[in-house]
Amino acid sequence: MIPTSLRWHGNAAGQPDAGHLELVDQTLLPTRHEWIPCRDVDTLVEAIKMLRVRGAPAIGIAGAYGLAVAAGEAVGDGLSPEAARAHLLARAELLACARPTAVNLRWAVERVVSVLAGLPENTSAQALAAAALAEARSIHEEDRRLCAAIGRHGAAILPEGGVLTHCNTGALATGGDGTALAVITTAWEEGRRFDVFADETRPLFQGARLTAWELVERGIPVTVLVDSAAAQLLRTGRVGACIVGADRITANGDTANKIGTYGLAVLAEAHGVPFFVAAPSSTFDLSLETGVDIPIEERAAAEVLRPLGVPAAPEHARAYNPAFDVTPARLITGIVTEHGVIQPVTRDNVLKMVPVLKMVPGTKSRSAR
Ligand code: MRU
């Protein structure tokens, strides 16, 4: 099966036989592969919060389609043009706030909102729905192309030796073939052969459940390790490079990614192993100078105390469960983008490589939490 994260089912939002968004429920993988329909925004927001859809680019694309879903709600309720716009803005804010760390979510939602804002005031709910869907589709299509470009640029600089990755950055996490994982799969498709290691990525096991599943589906051998085995693996010399994705990268190159990434970068430096980040320009937040200002999502204690639903700690223990950490730019060898590789990772090089396309003025990227 070719892994994928989401699709629009049907042709038009807001029509009597309205289309809707469908997501692969990633909480069920790798044992079950099921699509869930999102016919209303509440279902989609729940899916984003519960990580049924996850990964920075994928939640951005889902959020963009969410505006088409919201416009479908407005059509269904027979809202006037003015009421439909108010409805869309309220739903946009709900979607953009569903998770705070990955900047792609707010970026994509704001992009659709700004397209709608450019339409005449008396535009009907049906026409708003069509415009929202068209913009969401182009964000989705663009992400496919960006993933392919990231895969090519990254494969060209991937050193010899095994590759260690963290979390899931593949087709499930994006609208295309992935970011860091696309680098690995592209190099493999180009005929290179190397060991691929995937950190299991506690507490939600995105590495073991999702990355390993994607690689197995693609016929690429993968070795899963517990996160705490990374130091020992690096010490053996079997890893030529670490490569991970990103949820938000600031102007100086500091990078928020799945919890455990920072520790891995420290280990890579200690063992002289290059540490790469791969991300599209929609993951850069140039409104933030450094990673200190990135909002870090904290999630439910149950994810730590009852991993995969199995009790693993005394009932009354507390848990510390940040979903992300920030890796300082100085620990990152290079950042692979769709435009090429930022190396060394300096503010000047980031600003040279990444176009200032980013947030619509007045958005809340700084204070999402
Ligand atoms: O909490 P998640 O599973 O959404 O976290 C995902 C990650 O941290 C990924 O590494 C990141 O979004 C990059 S996906 C191409």
Q: Is 131 helix (H, G, I), strand (E, B) or coil?
A: helix
With a 6 Å cutoff on the Cβ, whether 179 touches ligand 1 is yes
pLDDT digits 0-9 by tens, 326-337: 999 999 999 999
pLDDT digits 0-9 by tens, 62-83: 999 999 999 999 999 999 999 9
pLDDT digits 0-9 by tens, 272-313: 999 999 999 999 999 999 999 999 999 999 999 999 999 999
Tokens of 163: 């590759």
Could you tell me what percent of the chain has a pLDDT over 70?
Answer: 94
Q: What is the pTM of this model?
A: 0.95
Q: What is the pLDDT of residue 364?
A: 43
Mutational pocket test of ligand 1: of 48, 181, 206, the residue with most ligand atoms within 8 Å of the beta carbon: 206
Q: What is the pLDDT of residue 10?
A: 86
Q: Could you tell me the distance, in angstroms and rounded to a whole number, from the CA of residue 226 to the centre of ligand 1?
A: 18
User: Could you tell me which residues come within 8 angstroms of residue 234 by beta carbon, excluding any fewer than 6 positions away?
Assistant: 164, 267, 268, 270, 271, 273
pLDDT digits 0-9 by tens, 193-223: 999 999 999 999 999 999 999 999 999 999 9
**Residue owning tokens 């968004």:** 21
Q: How confident is the model at residue 1 (pLDDT cuts 50, 70, 90)?
A: confident
Tokens of 76: 């269904």
Q: How confident is the model at residue 2 (pLDDT cuts 50, 70, 90)?
A: confident
How far apart are the C-alpha atoms of 266 and 257, rounded to whole Å?
A: 14
Q: Which helix (H) or strand (E) holds 249?
A: strand 248-250
Q: Take atom 6 of ligand 1 and give the residue whose Cα is closest.
A: 55
With a 6 Å cutoff on the Cβ, whether 257 touches ligand 1 is yes
Say if residue 103's pLDDT is above 60: yes
Distances (CA, A) of 123 to 118, 119, 133, 163, 369: 10, 7, 15, 51, 33
Q: What is the pLDDT of residue 366?
A: 39
- Provide the sign of the torsion angle of the four alpha carbons 116, 120, 122, 126, taken in this order: negative
* Fold category of 149-360 in CATH: Rossmann fold (3.40.50)
Specify whether the CB–CB gap between 24 and 69 falls below 8 A: no
Q: How confident is the model at residue 3 (pLDDT cuts 50, 70, 90)?
A: confident
With a 6 Å cutoff on the Cβ, whether 258 touches ligand 1 is yes
Which pairs count as long-range contacts for 312-319, CB under 8 Å and 24+ apart, including other chains? Answer: none
Say if residue 17's pLDDT is above 50: yes
Atom number, ligand 1, closest to the C-alpha of residue 179 = 15
* Fold category of 6-145 in CATH: Four Helix Bundle (Hemerythrin (Met), subunit A) (1.20.120)
Is position 227 annotated as part of the catalytic site? no
With a 6 Å cutoff on the Cβ, whether 57 touches ligand 1 is yes
Q: Are strands 284-285 and 334-337 parallel, antiparallel or unpaired?
A: unpaired
Q: Could you tell me the distance, in angstroms and rounded to a whole number, from the CA of residue 245 to the centre of ligand 1?
A: 7
Atom number, ligand 1, closest to the C-alpha of residue 56 = 12
pLDDT digits 0-9 by tens, 112-124: 999 999 999 999 9
Average pLDDT of the chain to the nearest whole number: 94
Q: How confident is the model at residue 367 (pLDDT cuts 50, 70, 90)?
A: very low
Say if residue 15's pLDDT is above 60: no
DSSP E strand stretches across 6-135:
6-9, 20-24, 35-38
User: Could you tell me which residues come within 8 angstroms of residue 134 by beta carbon, excluding any fewer than 6 positions away?
Assistant: none
Q: Are strands 239-244 and 162-165 parallel, antiparallel or unpaired?
A: parallel
Q: How much is the average pLDDT of 4-10?
A: 94
Tokens of 130: 């069509």
Q: What is the pLDDT of residue 358?
A: 46
Within the chain, which residue ranges are assigned CATH 1.20.120.420? 6-145
Say if residue 13's pLDDT is above 80: no
Angle (deg, nearest 10), helices 41-49 and 56-76: 160
Q: What is the pLDDT of residue 335?
A: 98
Could you tell me the maximum CA-CA distance found in the chain, to the nearest angstrom?
Answer: 66
Q: Could you tell me the distance, in angstroms and rounded to a whole number, from the CA of residue 280 to the centre of ligand 1?
A: 13
Within the chain, which residue ranges are assigned CATH 3.40.50.10470? 149-360
Atom number, ligand 1, closest to the C-alpha of residue 297 = 1
Q: Could you tell me the distance, in angstroms and rounded to a whole number, from the CA of residue 296 to the centre of ligand 1?
A: 13
User: Could you tell me which residues come within 8 angstroms of residue 157 by beta carbon, excluding any fewer than 6 positions away?
Assistant: 276, 334, 336, 341, 343
Q: Residue type for 209, please?
A: R
How far apart are the C-alpha atoms of 59 and 61, rounded to whole Å?
A: 5
pLDDT digits 0-9 by tens, 158-196: 999 999 999 999 999 999 999 999 999 999 999 999 999
